[in-house]
């Protein structure tokens, strides 16, 4: 089983590498979104490897089912053409800035993670969804309620912002 887990981990790593590079470098925004969806599904697989199936299903439901559709609406409604806004060369200053922003956290975080490994347990523990539900309604009730308020405010604000502009015309 150890070999199976390592194979699956390598497979998900490959999907994450290719998908994320596709998501940030592709000229077409729809292709970039496809790369992002591949990364999301591979991260859900990583959650399954970590023995957190509930989080994996939520990842697929919320990200692949919800957020990616929202991003697709944003691409569609802004009438971005396939060779439109993202085509053309990136200015040298921007490319250099982007590489510095890539390298600085990569070097710092990698050194910290590799030099100071946390005391890890051998196998991931399995938490049942019932325990998660008890946590949500017990000690973490306030964040649970707050996030519903935040979601409601975000939805209402989004409708208000998009609708008032249309009414003015």
**CB hemisphere CA count around 71 (13 angstroms):** 17
Question: For another protein, which residue of 67, 82, 83, 137 counts as binding (CB under 8 A)?
Answer: 67
d(CA 79, CA 84): 9
Among 7, 11, 82, 102, binds another protein (CB under 8 A): 102
Task: Note whether 150 binds another protein by CB under 8 A.
Answer: yes
Query: Which tokens sit at 121?
Result: 């347990």
82, two tokens: 């396939």
Q: Identify the CA nearest to 52 among candidates 144, 132, 122.
A: 132
Instruction: Identify which of residues 7 and 102 has a Cβ nearer to another protein in the complex.
Output: 102
Nearer CB in complex with another protein: 7/143: 143
The answer to whether the beta carbons of residues 43 and 23 sit under 8 Å apart is: no
Tell me: does residue 73 bind another protein (CB under 8 A). yes
Q: Which 34-63 positions form the footprint of another protein (CB under 8 A)?
A: 36, 39-40, 43, 46-47, 50-52, 54-55, 58-59, 62-63
Structure tokens at 27: 């000229």
Site for another protein in 109-128 (CB under 8 A): 109-110, 113-114, 117-121, 124-125, 127
Q: Report the residue from 7, 85, 137, 145 that binds another protein according to the rule CB under 8 A.
A: 85
Closest CA to 36 of 14, 21, 51, 46: 21
Closest approach of another protein to the CB of residue 46, in Å: 6
């Amino acid at each position: 089983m150890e070999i199976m887990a390592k194979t699956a981990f390598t497979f998900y790593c490959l999907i994450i590498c290719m998908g994320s590079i596709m998501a940030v470098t592709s000229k077409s925004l729809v292709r970039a979104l496809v790369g992002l969806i591949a990364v999301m599904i591979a991260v859900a697989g990583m959650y399954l490897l970590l023995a957190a199936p509930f989080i994996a299903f939520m990842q697929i439901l919320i990200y692949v089912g919800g957020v990616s559709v929202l991003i697709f609406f944003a691409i569609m409604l802004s009438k971005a053409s396939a060779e439109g806004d993202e085509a053309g060369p990136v200015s040298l200053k921007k490319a250099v800035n982007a590489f510095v922003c890539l390298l600085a956290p990569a070097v710092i975080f990698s050194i910290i993670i590799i030099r100071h490994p946390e005391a890890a347990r051998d196998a991931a523990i399995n938490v049942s969804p019932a325990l998660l539900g008890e946590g949500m309604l017990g000690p973490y009730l306030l964040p649970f309620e707050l996030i519903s308020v935040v979601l409601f405010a975000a939805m209402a604000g989004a409708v208000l912002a998009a609708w008032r502009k249309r009414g003015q015309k």
